[in-house]
């Protein structure tokens, strides 16, 4: 059985900057399951399992067959939740702007 923990990943797009990935997702929303004993910089992309909708069935099957055990800390779970809320806000703001409406969402305090 392989043990992996979820971590927030620092990625760069093909342009070499780290503001957004090529798929348009902010780098702050990139999460992956990495080997739990590995230190940042010691593992390769091939060692990681991206936390994306398409991988959820694969992860579920691996956990169900005891091939994989996953660990998610409260800190990372909070980051995932904040990233989801922020992404939804950006999508809604873009939708409202296309409709000619302006909606201001209050800021999220990441420390509370």
Identify the pLDDT of residue 36. 87
Report phi then psi at 68, rounded to 5: -145, 140
**pLDDT tens per residue, range 21-36:** 444 445 446 888 988 8
Q: Find out whether 83 and 20 touch, Cβ atoms under 8 Å.
A: no
Residue 82's contacts (CB-CB under 8 Å, 6 or more residues apart) are 108, 110
Write down the residue that tokens 């999508």 correspond to: 91
Q: Residue 86, class by beta-carbon neighbours within 10 Å (0-12 exposed, 13-18 middle, 19+ buried)?
A: middle
**pLDDT tens per residue, range 67-83:** 999 999 998 898 888 88
Copy the structure tokens of residue 89. Answer: 């806000």
């Amino acid at each position: 059985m392989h043990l992996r923990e979820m971590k927030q990943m620092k990625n760069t797009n093909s342009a070499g900057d780290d503001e957004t990935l090529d798929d348009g997702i902010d780098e702050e929303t990139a999460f992956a399951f990495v080997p739990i004993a590995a230190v940042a910089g010691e593992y390769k992309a091939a060692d990681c399992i991206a936390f994306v909708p398409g991988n959820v069935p694969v992860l579920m099957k691996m956990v169900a067959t005891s091939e994989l055990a996953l660990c998610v800390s409260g800190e990372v779970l909070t980051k995932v939740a904040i990233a989801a809320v922020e992404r939804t806000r950006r999508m809604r703001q873009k939708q409202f702007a296309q409709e000619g409406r302006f909606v201001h969402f209050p800021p999220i305090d990441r420390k509370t």
